[in-house]
Amino acid sequence: MESDVDGEMDSSFEMDEDGKSRNDIAFESNLDLDKSLRMGNFTQADNSSTPEMVIEFQLGPMGHVKESDKNATLDKTRKTNAFSLPGKVRNQYGFESLRVTSPRNSSNEIGNFDADSRTPLFMEAQSNGTNNELLQTVSASWSNNSLVSGNFIMNRRHVKPTSIYQMTLLLLQSSDSSKSERPKWSSPRDRELQYARLQIENAPTIKNSPELHPSLFRNFSMFVRSYELMERMLKVYIYKEGEKPIFHQPYLRGIYASEGWFMKLIEGNKQFAARDPRKAHLFYLPFSSQKLRSTLHRDILANRQDMEKYLKNYTDIIAKKYRFWNRARGADHFLVACHDWATRITRNNMGSSIRALCNANVARGFRVGKDVSLPVTYIRTSQDPHKDLGGNPPSERPILAFFAGSMHGYLRPILLQYWENKELDMKIVGPMPRDIEGKLKYREYMKSSKYCICARGYEVHTPRVVESIYYECVPVIISDNYVPPFFEVLDWEAFSVFVLERDIPNLRNILLSIPEEQYLAMQQRVKMVQRHFLWHKKAVKYDLFHMTLHSVWYNRVFQVKL
């Protein structure tokens, strides 16, 4: 079964270097994570972080700061954006379940928006006395030890969850060239990137395209121009150093397949290849985080420090042999890694590099605007990486919400505690059988559901996000601080729903509060965005390989000083 393979994702965590079980690791590692659901103490959102505070910014193209244009008007297509709703939406039960927070659009604040920009909205549940009582009642009734532990963990979390809107502000700030790394010496490639940035920032307005759907993008015109320039200009040097199986040996199946498919396709690509490193705009570090973990684990009882040391030895080698790493402390280098530990083992020695990571946790070292969120794609067979794509039309999706999976992490037991066998139109269950019948039933549930719940496991990322897109089911992402894939270019709120972990008790009300026409628009966009999440044996335009490479290119372009 597709998503119930989380055990594969976490198989390397059976024992920690200190001999702790992975349950102990999950318990302890989440004590200091971002603040989340407070059982029995449900509080309204902290207004100190609301968008009204950031009145000096205007959200320009692709989330970057743009000078105010008093004559600019809102893009007409924005009227169909997900959650373009009134401030409060009352559902059939009278519960004020949605609050849409967006920047004020007045002359004395942000002013009018660029006609081709998109500003993500932030949705969260409104609390009232009835809901507090519900939380307290359910919390008090818990007797399962794992749920009590989950409650304890969630009350001990210290970091406030970062909303999609706040992530957009981080994207704004990342484009401030004064904060980017200045190289030790200038290069013709820097001037080419400066030219590309100016071209992208001043892209001519494009409203339609026979190949793409503008409603999927933050700023369609800038994406089109950026992609054109990438195809025309970008050159990538791939280091030949490094021994197999950790380097230059892509693994194309399983939960970490994204890093392997990218390695396979970039190493076989001629269009972007630079034989002469002096001609390169970017340098690829061709290692597999999965193979690094599994190979070292066979030799010794490897821990994260061993993996960090191994990678540092590698960068020391290329820094001694080539001059390019030292020019900007690796800022023009990039890696693609999907293992859970990749964020931690690369944050010191490779922290200045662009990191395409599956574990894109903004509260645990992922830097919005520099790093790239890599989609988790579970590939069952490399010969047919996307078998059984598609799903039922909206009229043949009787299930409101579906989730099935192992009880990894603190959040999923809480999800089941509230919603397993509670409503006929919500299919929320634990792990399903792993036989052929179980896998078939899992796919049929996804294809027959309006919304597919993408709840975090041990880490923030989950293959269910991409699976939902494959089966044309609107993703409902419940994972605080998770930066969704290609966040710098895709308007995720156009085709998905974000629910804070603390709002799990209100999940059904939130989904029911979405008007049918809004759901239909999102579901149609899910079908449209699917092409951007597909691997192909031979890469095709706008596919997952090119989208990953484009985000790396784009982030590098906007880190270069003008």
Instruction: Find the distance separating the first CA and the last CA of the chain, reported in whole Å.
Output: 49
For the stretch 140-159, pLDDT in tens is 333 344 444 445 445 545 66
Sorted by sequence, the CB contacts under 8 Å of residue 125 that are 6+ apart come out as 97, 98, 99, 131, 499, 500, 503, 506, 509, 510
At residue 384, the pLDDT reads 79
Sheet (strand 88-90) strand order: 88-90, 96-101, 122-124
Q: Is 38 helix (H, G, I), strand (E, B) or coil?
A: coil
One-letter amino acid of 497:
V
- Judged on CB neighbours under 10 Å (0-12, 13-18, 19+), 67 is exposed
At residue 562, the pLDDT reads 77
Q: What parts of the chain have a pLDDT lower than 50?
A: 1-150, 152-153, 156, 178
Give the whole-angstrom CA distance, residue 293 versus residue 307.
Answer: 7
At residue 154, the pLDDT reads 54
Q: Which CATH number fits domain 386-533: 3.40.50.2000, 3.40.50.2300, 3.40.50.720, 3.40.50.410?
A: 3.40.50.2000
Give the whole-angstrom CA distance, residue 303 versus residue 292.
Answer: 11
One-letter amino acid of 289:
S
Q: Is 125 helix (H, G, I), strand (E, B) or coil?
A: coil
Sorted by sequence, the CB contacts under 8 Å of residue 131 that are 6+ apart come out as 42, 95, 125, 505, 506
Give the whole-angstrom CA distance, residue 345 versus residue 351.
Answer: 9
Instruction: Considering the chain, tell me which residue range(s) the CATH 3.40.50.2000 domain(s) occupy.
Output: 386-533
Say if CB 515 and CB 105 are below 8 A apart.
Answer: no
Q: What letter would DSSP give residue 30?
A: T
Q: How far is CA 307 from the centre of its chain?
A: 24
Say if CB 195 and CB 525 are below 8 A apart.
Answer: no
Give the whole-angstrom CA distance, residue 76 versus residue 382.
Answer: 42
Token pair 């968008």 in the structure block, residue: 51
Q: How far is CA 310 from CA 239, 293, 314, 346, 347, in A?
A: 16, 11, 7, 11, 14
One-letter amino acid of 77:
T
Give the whole-angstrom CA distance, residue 474 versus residue 225.
Answer: 29
Give the whole-angstrom CA distance, residue 84 versus residue 97.
Answer: 15
| Residue closest to 40 by CA, chosen among 175, 206, 154, 173 | 154
At residue 158, the pLDDT reads 62
Q: How far is CA 199 from CA 202, 271, 355, 480, in A?
A: 5, 21, 25, 35
CA triple 493-83-112, angle to 5 deg: 85
Q: What are phi and psi of 156, to 5 degrees?
A: -95, -5
* Interior/surface letters 309-320, b for 16+ CB within 10 angstroms, e for the rest: ebbeebbeebee
At residue 301, the pLDDT reads 53
Give the whole-angstrom CA distance, residue 249 versus residue 267.
Answer: 10
Q: What are phi and psi of 228, to 5 degrees?
A: -60, -45
Report residue 227 as tokens. 């992609």
Sorted by sequence, the CB contacts under 8 Å of residue 94 that are 6+ apart come out as none
- Judged on CB neighbours under 10 Å (0-12, 13-18, 19+), 107 is exposed
One-letter amino acid of 287:
F
How many CB atoms are closer than 10 A to CB 52? 12
SS3 content of the chain, % helix, strand, coil (to 5): 40, 10, 45
Is the sign of the CA dihedral 550, 553, 556, 562 positive or negative?
negative
